[in-house]
């Protein structure tokens, strides 16, 4: 399986997005899924998506614009209140991405 590329987004582009990225790497590694992450501010999302090869976005702060890849709210994952729901949504998105590539 290939490594997935994910943008993680928070207000400053560093603190919360880095925390989410690390937690997500650990959770998905347990499933045998490898990811790379790039941490950005909301104003940088569209530019990164247009210039890079990203599979989806995880945000802890609102992002605006027409983002052409899946955007998943990661606040519950960050706080620990909705971790399983978040991870299930991430797994579904990953499954759709990989199934689309296989077809």
pLDDT tens for each residue of 34-85: 999 999 999 999 999 999 899 999 999 999 989 999 999 999 999 999 999 9
Query: How would residue 86 be classed by pLDDT, with cut points 50, 70 and 90?
Result: very high
Across the beta sheet with 4-9, the strand order is 35-40, 4-9, 56-59, 71-73
Query: How would residue 103 be classed by pLDDT, with cut points 50, 70 and 90?
Result: confident
The predicted model scores a pTM of: 0.93
CA dihedral 12, 59, 1, 36 (to 10 degrees): 0
pLDDT tens, residue by residue, 64-73: 989 999 999 9
Count CB-CB contacts under 10 A for residue 56.
Answer: 21
For residue 93, the model assigns a pLDDT of 98
* CATH H-level superfamily of 4-102: Response regulator (3.40.50.2300)
Burial environment of residue 1 by CB neighbours within 10 A (0 to 12, 13 to 18, 19 or more): exposed
Ordered alpha helix ranges (H), 1-103: 15-29, 45-51, 75-79, 83-102
Residue carrying structure tokens 């802890």:
60
For residue 89, the model assigns a pLDDT of 98
């Amino acid at each position: 399986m290939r490594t997935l590329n994910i943008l993680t987004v928070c207000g400053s582009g560093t603190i919360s997005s880095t925390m989410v990225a690390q937690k997500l790497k650990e959770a998905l590694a347990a499933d045998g899924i490898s990811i790379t992450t790039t941490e950005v501010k909301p104003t940088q999302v569209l530019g990164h998506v247009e210039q890079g090869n990203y599979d989806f976005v995880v945000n802890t702060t609102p992002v605006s614009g027409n983002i052409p890849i899946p955007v998943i709210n990661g606040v519950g994952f960050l706080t620990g209140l909705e971790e399983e729901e978040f991870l299930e949504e991430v797994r579904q998105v990953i499954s759709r991405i990989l199934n689309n590539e296989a077809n």
